[in-house]
Every structure is written in structure tokens, then in C-alpha cells.
Amino acid sequence: MIGTVGISRDITEFKRTQAQLVQAGKLAGIGQLAAGIAHEINNPLSGVLGYAKRLLKKAEDEELKKIPGLEPFQREMKLIVDSALRCKKIIDGLLKFSRTSETVSMAVNINEVIDEALILFGNQLSSQNIELNKVLSPNIPNIRANHTQIQQVFTDIIINAIQAMSNGGTLTIATRPVNSSAVEIEFTDTGEGISKENLPKIFEPFFTTREPGKGTGLGLYMIYRILQEHHGHIDVRSEVGKGATFVITLPVADIKT
């Protein structure tokens, strides 16, 4: 029986690793395709935005405002500019994360980065009735990372958690060492959760369950790419109506990668 349990665990771990490799390959292919499309779209989109801004500026001229019937034109031009700016933001994000420049890294204290990220959300957590529960290991070893990028990862996950708890709840952030080679950072919310069919898709670019205009669908994709650059990975557990848990694993500073 013990041998059977051991084999079962090995098979489960193999399947999990295999699924992660398939997902990584899938995301890499999608990322390359999206980056190529972004490069092709960027120049004409910049032209559209430039001309639209110029026309809007002319339409808002004080003399032209006196022309009867111009108000609908001004409204429509503003909609064009706003839509083009939204597209530009998405394209800029894709281009940023398609670059292959080397990550500038240093020894980083995970607990300090979490505290820095949380400073941004103090008022928002209290106003939305969200209780913060920090379980940070005092003996957490430093990781080797780009401080700004790792802070962006934590910030984006916290934003997702807050959005998932529109009616209040609890956000728990925990850190712990894993043997002597890595650290784990765990974010758990008590929000709406993620459906079983959506879980495999959440790290794909442009995938979002938010209402139109509420999200680009690039946040979790960018998190995945940043962690990939840092030789780390992220796991997700979730159930609809019971919240979600994101577990990030990163190598410690003295591990050669």
C-alpha cells in the first residue's frame, strides 16, 4: 500500500509538472505572436491617435464651438481618442514584456517589498471593508530580483484580490522559506473565486472576466512573464464563491540560476 501511495504521488507530481510545461510553452508562443502583432499595429495606431488628438483640439477651439451641431462631433472625437489611448496602453504593455533585455537584479527582502506595496492600498482596504492578515516569516531569506518588477507582481495580485472582494472580506499574505533554496509568497482572498473552466486561461494575454473597459486581461500574463524571467513560478487554487490563493515561488539570492 505504501508503494502504491508513493507511485500515485509521483504520477500526480509528473502530471502537474507536465501541465506547467505545456502552459509555459503555450504562453511563450502566444506571447511571441502577440508581440509580433503589437509591433505591426503600433505605428498605424500612433498615427490614428495623433490625427484624432489634432482634430479634437481643433473641435474644442473656442471659435469653432460656436458652430451649431458641432457638439456631437466633439463627443465622437473624444471617444475615438479615448479608445485609441486604451489600445495604445495594451500595445505598450505587450511591447514592454516582449523585450529580451536582461533583468537587473539585486538582493531583495520579500517582506519589505510586500509592506511597500501595501502602503498604496491602506485606504482602499478599509473603505471596502477588507481585513488584512499578514503572516510574514521573520527569517525569510533574500531573493535575487528586480525590485520594481517584483513589487509590480505583488501590487497586481493585491489589486485583483481587492476587485474580487467588492463586498468585503479578508486578504491574507504569507511568506515562508522552502528548504534553503526558495521562498514562497502566498496571497489568499475570500472573494468571488475563479471557475474551474477559467483557471487554465487566467495567465493568457487578453483573457479577463471583468466587464468591458474594466481590465485589459494583461495583468496576470505580465505577472507570469516577470516570474518566468526571475526563474520563479506561480500556482493558483480557487473555487467559485470561496476565494482564490496565488502561491509564488522564487529562488533565494545565493542560488545560482
What's the CATH number for 106-251?
A: 3.30.565.10
pLDDT in tens, 198-255: 887 777 766 666 554 455 556 788 888 889 889 999 999 998 989 999 999 999 976 4
**What secondary structure does DSSP assign to 176-230, as a single string?**
EEETTTEEEEEEEE-SS---TTTGGGTTSTT---SPTTS--S-HHHHHHHHHHHT
Closest CA to 250 of 147, 137, 142, 114: 142
In CATH terms, the fold of domain 2-98 is Helix Hairpins (1.10.287)
Domain residue extents for the chain? 2-98, 106-251
Closest CA to 154 of 183, 185, 184: 185
**One-letter identity of residue 178:** V
pLDDT in tens, 65-86: 667 767 777 788 888 888 888 7
- Name the most confidently modeled range: 96-110, 164-178, 197-211: 164-178
